[in-house]
Amino acid sequence: MKELLKLYWVFCKMGAVCFGGGYAMLPIIQAEIVDKRGWAETEEIMDYYAIGQCTPGVIAVNTSTFIGNKRAGIPGAIAATAGFVTPSIIIIMIISTLLQSFAHITYVERAFSGIRICVAVLIINATVKLWKSAVKDKIGLALCLAVFALSAFTDISPVVFIIGSGLAGYFICKWKGAKK
């Protein structure tokens, strides 16, 4: 029970600052789960992000579920997920009752403008961290650039990119192993 409460509280704290969606949360999850607590390795978190991207729901919530499951099974998954979404539910309920009354106020508009900038920076930061740990050679760079170009200029589903990249990684590693 102590582990479940700890999972709930850690993810509740992260969920309380979840502005800008799942991608903005990636550096916070990385810092809290990998760097501070050692509950997962960077590669594991990247795998959770990838799986979380192609499963229904918010990527940060899905990642919380995977980490909770790793720590304490299904009860851990439930505790981590509940912890992550509790602050959002409370905040959304409060904002939904007040936003109509305050959205037109200049200070509120400026605050939201600043929050959007901060979220963009957090997403860029997450991208740089993922880049450093994921792109390790020329083949990885080529795959990354190909997926980036295709995702930027086509309407192909991200699921296709994830599955295709997974298959490419499998066959590339198999090919490299056969060369040795």
Q: What is the separation of C-alpha 177 from the centre of its chain, rounded to a whole number of angstroms?
A: 31
Q: Widest CA span of the chain, in angstroms? A: 67
Q: Running along the chain, 180 residues long, what does each successive block of 10 average in pLDDT?
A: 93 81 75 90 84 79 91 95 91 81 82 86 82 84 92 91 90 78
Closest CA to 89 of 49, 124, 66, 61: 61
Count of CB atoms situated within 10 Å of the CB of 116: 11
Where do the domains of the chain lie? 2-134, 135-180
Tell me what pLDDT residue 67 has: 93
Query: What does each C-alpha distance from 131 to 11, 16, 61 come to in angstroms?
Result: 25, 27, 22
Identify the helix (H) or strand (E) that includes residue 172. Answer: helix 158-179
- Give the tokens for residue 173: 């590693």
Tell me what pLDDT residue 54 has: 75
Tell me what pLDDT residue 108 has: 81
Tell me what pLDDT residue 115 has: 85
Give the whole-angstrom CA distance, residue 1 versus residue 77. 13
Query: What does each C-alpha distance from 121 to 21, 82, 98, 145 come to in angstroms?
Result: 13, 27, 27, 21
Give the whole-angstrom CA distance, residue 96 versus residue 141. 44
